Structure 1
């Protein structure tokens, strides 16, 4: 009996609704669950390009990926994430309901394939570790709860990023050059801003993006960071918005931060908006502490990891 790939893939995901799997995980399940059908497929292959079981699994991976658009057209409940690796899942929730569910999630292991859900606060140390190891950026959490309320309930809405960062441009410079730049230039650092989201899809993509635009206007680099990005249309929208506003996109891998990806590099702004930085520092104690650390760096030429939110693994 021939393997009905479409039926098998949809059935596998439907039986495990809301759980996410890569094409390779699905292909390996198919190979184990339908051994006779898979060997028949191998025997009927032309061109002698399937020479081993590993080749057969790889062929299944390729076919799952190539059939994805048709599968999703026929089964709208079959959804995918963007980034590396793409994951497939079955959900009858609307896009907005998925966002609400993600934002109310806590760290809880699921039963199948060790998948996990995590809350937004759990992403901050993972992002800090990635920023340090990938870019050498010192990061600091900004807690909006430490802000003044003198402007009213919505007076500071979309004002603060979740994390801020400082990049030491002269980390590898000769000491004499660093001393010279400290005396005669303010180009020793780049300041970064990050807005963190658990899930971005079609229902919240523009809101998330413009929130990042709003709260990163003071910095050299502004990034939107997400644990999950769902749907090709979402990524297309983000690329279009980047062209107009320059906000970058990072796909954070919660299981292995080192495997996180910059899907869209941020466009650099040449100058810091110090008027806006002053407002943030005046309104929020965490941001004021951040400015003090940047000032300290210029005064001493050194940044101590202990002063920043870099995890022990990076030290």
Structure 2
């Protein structure tokens, strides 16, 4: 543990001993694939190494209690995480969710995506720090949550859209598409989910009538590409898939149940600056608590020619366009 107070202004590891990184690696590597919060790691360290913890408090001019010590260690773990991950590829973290979770994996990031999408990785494992055996860090009791398939995520996304954003969501099944353009002709063409938002909802009926007769914009269409897991190995590919699939819509989003890996969100934000596709983190346990991490950049006009192409090629999208037409005729969704 640190012998001196941590300098948050500099964020430098020079003020801390090498032992903290060693302790973090000790716990995580003994419990591969299990997720820990930084506070759980700090608690384990102070309980496993009480003499070091006491020495840190004694030498510090700012730490007087055990809770303050935990807070300090958590701050140090967070501040040094980026440099540690560059040094130790097996040290992984979740992104876009608070608190961030730390875990150890011997898999490559490509293997992680492949295992999740193939169904081989059937569970997300969480540690139960209150049951950690101090004499055996590998004896952590684990909580397993079954991983869902990508298809399980679609109704969750629809629930989030309707509950939080008043957007009516619809599933687009790529399997219902024709194959008129041959193998690969429809690649990255169809979104997983589309949405329709009534921009006149809540307005006085006379105002709504005036908007309709003026032919001012009454509707906003959304497009979503859904993934189980996005990390640095597939961040660019999945983002550009969302760019391609959303080229017709006012708003396009890449949706992920899991965002993991150092610098993943940073890469996605760089791509957003160029292409405007937003990012949604989907909360599998509580879909209505999902979060738009990066709001999409709105396109004022729909690409009706592309909508026509999609409607010709896919029955679900054809039905979606029928609902859009009915809205323009009646105002009902």
Segments of 5+ residues of structure 1 without an aligned counterpart are 304-315
Q: Give the match for residue 41 of structure 2.
A: 26
Q: Give the structure-1-normalised TM-score.
A: 0.87
In structure 2, how many angstroms separate the alpha carbons of the residues matched to 1:107 and 1:164? 28
Q: Give the match for residue 84 of structure 1.
A: 97
Segments of 5+ residues of structure 2 without an aligned counterpart are 4-18, 129-142
Q: Give the match for residue 9 of structure 1.
A: 24
The alignment status of 1:217 with 2:231, answered yes or no, reads no
In structure 1, how many angstroms separate the alpha carbons of the residues matched to 2:36 and 2:158? 26
SS at match of 1:208: helix
The alignment status of 1:291 with 2:316, answered yes or no, reads no
Decide which moves more: 281-290 or 27-36.
27-36
Q: Give the match for residue 134 of structure 1.
A: 164
Contact persistence 2:24–2:41 (CA under 8 A): yes
Between the two proteins, the alignment pairs up a number of residues equal to: 301
In structure 1, how many angstroms separate the alpha carbons of the residues matched to 2:162 and 2:71? 35
Shift of 1:99: 1.1
SS at match of 1:73: helix
In structure 1, how many angstroms separate the alpha carbons of the residues matched to 2:37 and 2:126? 16
Quote the RMSD (CA, aligned, Å). Answer: 2.3
Q: Give the match for residue 156 of structure 1.
A: 186
SS at match of 1:20: strand
Q: Give the match for residue 298 of structure 2.
A: 268
Q: Give the match for residue 308 of structure 1.
A: none
SS at match of 1:38: helix
In structure 1, how many angstroms separate the alpha carbons of the residues matched to 2:230 and 2:279? 11
Q: Give the structure-2-normalised TM-score.
A: 0.82
In structure 1, how many angstroms separate the alpha carbons of the residues matched to 2:293 and 2:45? 31
Decide which moves more: 270-279 or 223-232.
223-232
Larger relative CO (CA 8 A, sep 6+): 1 or 2? 1
* Structure 1 residue runs of 4 or more that deviate by more than 6 Å after TM superposition: none
Shift of 1:179: 2.2
SS at match of 2:263: helix
In structure 1, how many angstroms separate the alpha carbons of the residues matched to 2:250 and 2:281? 20
Shift of 1:223: 0.6
SS at match of 1:59: helix
Decide which moves more: 2-11 or 240-249.
2-11
In structure 1, how many angstroms separate the alpha carbons of the residues matched to 2:215 and 2:47? 63
Q: Give the match for residue 115 of structure 2.
A: 101
Shift of 1:20: 2.5
Decide which moves more: 61-70 or 2-11.
2-11
The alignment status of 1:253 with 2:283, answered yes or no, reads yes
The one of 33, 36, 46 aligned to 2:61: 46
Larger Rg: 2
Correspondence list, 1:158-307, <5 A: 158-303=188-333
Contact persistence 2:96–2:265 (CA under 8 A): no
Shift of 1:297: 2.3
1:109–1:90 Cα change, 3 Å: closer
Shift of 1:265: 1.5
Q: Give the match for residue 313 of structure 1.
A: none
1:296–1:107 Cα change, 3 Å: farther
